[in-house]
Structure formats: C-alpha cells, structure tokens
Amino acid sequence: MSFWDWVYRYFEGLGKYILRMYPNLSNDIRKSGMHLYPEVYASFMAFMSILISGVTIVLIILFAVVKIYIVLPFLVLVPFLTYILLAYLPALIGSSRAGGIEGEFPYTTAYLSMMVMSGLSPYVAFERITHASKVFTKSAELSQRFILLVRVLGRDPLTAFSMLAHRTPSPTARDLLMGYVTTVRAGGDVADYLNKKARLLFSELLVKMKIIADRLAGLLEAYLALVLLSMISLTVMYFVTVSFISAVPFGLSPIGLFLVLYVLIPMISGMIIYLADITQYKEPWVDYRPYILFGGLTLPLAFFLVFFGMIIPNILPPGHPFRSNVLVKGIYDFLVYPAVAFNLQPYIYPSVALSMILITATLPTTIYAEIVGREYKVVTGITRFLRDLVEIRKTGLSPERSIIELSRRNYGVFTKYLKKMALQLSLGISLSRIIQELFKKIIVWRAKVLLFVLTDTIEVGGGSVEIMEHLAWFAESVDAIEDEKKKNLRTLLIVPYMGGILTAATVIMLAAFMGSLQFGAGGAYFQAAATALPAIVINTYLMGLVAGKVSSGSIAAGFKHAIFLTIVTLLFFLASPLFNTMLGGLTQPVT
C-alpha cells in the first residue's frame, strides 16, 4: 500500500468533510496541475493537521517543563497555520502556474496563428506545441493534456478544448480556447480569429507596461518615505540619546536601533523587491548565471573578508600572533586603507571596511552580469534580420537562399550566429537541425521563440511572403514590448538613488558633527557610531538592488547600482572631516 493509499483509507471521512467546508478546493486542485484526486488531497490535509497538532502538543509540554513560556503562543498557532496553508496551497500553485502561462501565451497565440495561416489545422497546430517544450514550457503542458484527451481518451477536439479551458488557471488561455470553440461552432474564420487575438494580446501587454510603471512608482514613493523617516529620525534619536546620556532620561536603546537598522529596514527592502517581482511583467524564463556567480563567489568572498578583515582584528588583542599574521594584517590594511589615508576617526573604520568588502566582493559578479547582458541584444538583431528577410523573399529567393544572402550584413550580436547558419545551410544541413544547435548557445528566451517560429513557419508553409510578413510583425511587437518596458521603468531609478544618497549624506554628516563635539560620553558615542554606521552601508547597498529590480526587472541588474551607491556612501565617509570643518564653522559663536 502506497502512502497516498494509506492516507485515503484512514482519513477519507475527514477528507470529505474538509471538501464540504471548502467547495472550491476541488477546482483549485484541478487548476494547479496537481495529479491528485481531490478526496486524496483533503485526506492528506486531515492527516497532516493531526500529525502537526500532536507534535505541537508535545513541544508545548516540553517548553512548559523547562519554563520557556515565550515560545508557547507561537507554537499554539502552528497547527492552525499549517491547516490554512494546506487549504490554500493548490490556489497558490495555480496562481503561480497562471503567471507562467500569462507571460508565455501571447507568443503561443502568435505561433498558432502563423501555423494555421501556413495551412495546418488548429488541432494539429496546437498539438505541434508539444515539440516546442523547451520554448513554450507551460503551453506544452496544455498541448500534452490536449493530446491525452483526444488521442487516448477519445474526446472530440472541441470538447477537449472546452475541458482545457475549465482546467487552466490562466484567464488569457481560457478566453482564447473558449473563443476558438465559439468561432468553430459559429463557422467563423479561425485563422483570422487567432491573428486578431495575437495582436490584441500584444497591445494589452503594451498597456500593462504603463500600468505596472505607475504601480511601481507609488510603491517606491512609499518605500522612500518609510526608509528616510525611519533611518534618519531613529539614528538621530539614538546619537542624541548616547551623546546627552546624562541629560536625556529617555531615548532609543541599542537593541532597538539594531533591530530597526539591521533587521527591519533590510526586510522592508526585501519585501519591496518581492512586491516588484509579483507586479512586473515576467517572461517564463530566468537567467540564473549571475545569481550562481553571486552565490558561488560574491557571498563566500564577502564572508571571508568580513571574518579575516573585521571580526578577527576586533576580537583578538593587539599583541596576538594570529592578528599579526600576514593574511589577516594584509586584508585589514587593504580594507581600512581609505580611512587611514584620509585620517578618519577610528569609529568610521568599520563602515569604510564594510564598504570596501561589498565593493570588492560584488565587482566580479557585476562585470559578469554586464557581459551576459550583452547577449540580450541578440533579439534586436533577429528583429532586423526578419524584416530584411521579408523584403528579400519578395524577390523570389527561397528562405534558405535568403538567409545565406543576408549573412553578409551586420546584425550586431546575431551576426556570428547568422554566419554559422548560412555556412551550414550551404553544406546542406536542415534549418531545424541548425536551430536546435543554436539553442544550446543562445540563452535568451525571446530569441529562441523567434528562431523556433521562423523554423516551423518555413517547414510547414514554405516561408511565404505573407507568413514572413506576419513573423516580422511578431518580432517587432516583441521588440516594442521590451522597449516600452525599459522606457517606463528606467525613470524609477531616481527614487532608490535619492533615498540612498540622502540617507547616507544626512546620517554621516550628523555622525561627523556630533563626533567632533567633546562630551563626557565621547567614548560611548564613538562605540555607538561604530555600531550604527555600518547599517547605512548595508541598507544603501540593498537600495541599489531595489533600483535594479524596479528599473530592469532583475536583481542582477542591481549589482552595478549597489556598487555605485556603496561608492557614494564611501565617499561621504571619506569627506566626513570636511563636513566636520564646515559644520564646526557654522556652530562658532558670532563675535
């Protein structure tokens, strides 16, 4: 007996009761793509709820015996939260699946319209998406389900399309499939319907870009106000409290400031990145190469520098032999060299060292991300190539011969791939095989879509001028969407930049000014400043990541902004003696 059989056998009654409590659960399970019978999943919910409740009771008893009462209220909530999570998990999975289909389906619709215009029936064209599983990942799942319903279960195609429409979580896919069924039953022109639907979907994408930009602008304004108010006001309150500790009986405690600067504000920055991610239009593909390098090089290098350049020199006494080690001493001297060169106060040394660590560790990943980003320009070259292909096809040349003739022109990043295509076509290699080989070298998803559609269009319909014209329009629409996205989001860069620069300048100027004054609590103030100021570096770095996410849709694009804002913060630290002199002159009494 398998696990699912055992769960269904012993918890079937509770599962049916749960299904009566949540009537939409069965529909959510179907739309999520989970291959589970609704009664089985509901029985699993009952089993997990009972299991988690039993474990929680045991933990409550153990913590009560050892008198750790603070965690008891949180443990009581665990079974309830587990049950709620399991109840809405299918809906969350379906929502994620819908997002993937929504980002992919405008391209799928354009592909279907060109296949139907090339002479294929809509049923065969929809089945053909299965062969494009590496390009249309989510749509291929619908195509496979369609083949299962028609060829295995014996459903007629219209009934299969209707069943798919009710099972898919994507409103766009549902509307397209039901509209197709209606068009066929009414005797309409399917090719014209698909063509107009594709154009409508691309037009809606352009409108969505402007709406997304407006939403992100409001989100960033709230983020800027929150960060500026919290960081500046609380830091000022803390510095005043420490400096006038004998005269001010109240204020912000060190623990409170630590929680705000090192926990709360970074969490807010992370939440803004998450909200921007779910708000923005996303392609069903992510380039993980910069993030792999960030996790494999930047983070280990940063931890290495922090341990040997900041932790070891601060926890060991000055005469300790390990502290005098060439490695430790060399790293420490490198990190604090700017502070030593500009004769800064010792309490600024940790902030300068942290700035150097972030800049040094992130720089290789930033350079690599910029090199990788150049590959995305291949889409512009393919768009220009397809437009020229249409014009040269009008002269009567075959598609293959037209590609060979166009290989002499310059299409930017795409030129090297085009020359290889032309050479292989001259040797008699089929276009589909050439494109499959190119897919191993071209990683940009939109470029793969355009090349795949080009190949199928030529193989199915011979690459007629009308079809190629439609393909060129498709490529230009894809390029227009990317241009509209960049144009609307690029202006949002100013908000994180303003927040980072204003925060760094204000707090560092205040710290330098108050550090120049001689109070009885000067030693306590210097220790407090050495603890609080590194948080300014960390949060400014995170604002750079926010800037990249909102302006380009990718955290990897924020590495360069993070480095730039960290360099600006470092320059403010190096200019703190100048601030000292300026503010000191302003506070001199007038005689």
From 66-80, 147-161, 332-346, 571-585, the region with the lowest mean pLDDT: 571-585
Query: Please, what is the end-to-end C-alpha distance for the chain in angstroms?
Result: 95
Band (pLDDT 50/70/90 cuts) for residue 522 is low
370, with CB counted inside 10 A (0-12, 13-18, 19+), is middle
Task: Kindly report the CATH number assigned to the domain that includes residue 401.
Answer: 1.20.81
**Interatomic CA distance for residues 470 and 170, integer angstroms:** 26
Decide which of 481, 508, 542 is a domain's last residue.
Answer: 481
Domain presence at residue 13: yes
Total domain count, the chain:
2
Interaxial angle between packed helices 25-32 and 72-117, expressed in degrees from 0 to 180 and rounded to the nearest 10: 50
In a domain, 335, yes or no: no
Q: Comparing C-alpha atoms, which of 324, 262, 247, 354 is closest to residue 573?
A: 354
Tell whether 435 is covered by a domain: yes
Taking the C-alpha atoms of residue 280 and residue 238, their distance in angstroms, rounded to an integer, is 38
- For residue 228, the 8-state DSSP code is H
pLDDT for 316 equals 78
33 inside domain: yes
- What is the tens place of the pLDDT at every residue in 198-227? 888 888 887 887 788 888 888 888 888 888
DSSP reduced 3-state for 342? coil
What is the Cα–Cα distance from 131 to 399, expressed in whole angstroms?
22
Mean per-residue pLDDT over the chain, rounded:
84
Q: DSSP labels for 153-164?
A: S---HHHHHHHH
Confidence (pLDDT) at 588:
47
List, for residues 67-86, the tens digit of each pLDDT value. Answer: 777 777 888 888 888 888 88
Alpha carbon 490 to its chain's center: 16
Residue 551 CA to its chain's centroid (Å): 12
Residue from 42, 1, 46, 48 nearest 24 by CA: 42
Query: Closest Cα to residue 189, out of 256, 296, 116?
Result: 116
Question: Does 250 score more than 60 pLDDT?
Answer: no
User: Rounded distance, CA 275 to CA 235, Å?
Assistant: 27
pLDDT tens-digit series, residues 266-325: 999 999 888 888 888 777 778 889 999 999 999 999 999 999 888 888 887 777 777 778
pLDDT of residue 590: 39
Q: pLDDT tier at 397 (50, 70, 90 boundaries)?
A: confident
Whether 428 is in a domain gets the answer yes
Note whether residue 319 is domain-resident: no
**pLDDT tens across 478-521, in order?**
888 778 777 777 778 888 888 888 888 888 888 887 777 645 44
Sign, Cα dihedral of 390, 394, 400, 404: negative
Tokens of 131: 């062969």
- Cβ 19 vs Cβ 25: under 8 Å: yes
Torsion (CA) 579, 581, 583, 589 in degrees, nearest 10: 180
Question: pLDDT: is 101 or 387 the higher one?
Answer: 387
Q: Which residues touch 496 (CB under 8 Å, ≥6 apart)?
A: 220, 223, 224, 543, 544, 546, 547, 550, 561, 565
Of the three residues 64, 97, 130, the one that is the final residue of a domain is 97
Give the domain range for residue 438.
376-481
Among 74, 97, 120, the domain-final residue is 97
pLDDT surpasses 50 at 589: no
The token duo for 95 is 């929502």
Burial 118-140 (b: 16+ CB within 10 A, else e): bebebbebbbbbbebeebbebbb
Q: How far is CA 495 from CA 119, 487, 499, 535, 556, in A?
A: 51, 16, 6, 20, 18
Distance CA 276, CA 549 (A): 7
Within a domain: 573: no
What H or E segment, with its residue span, contains residue 549? helix 522-552
Within-domain flag for 502: no
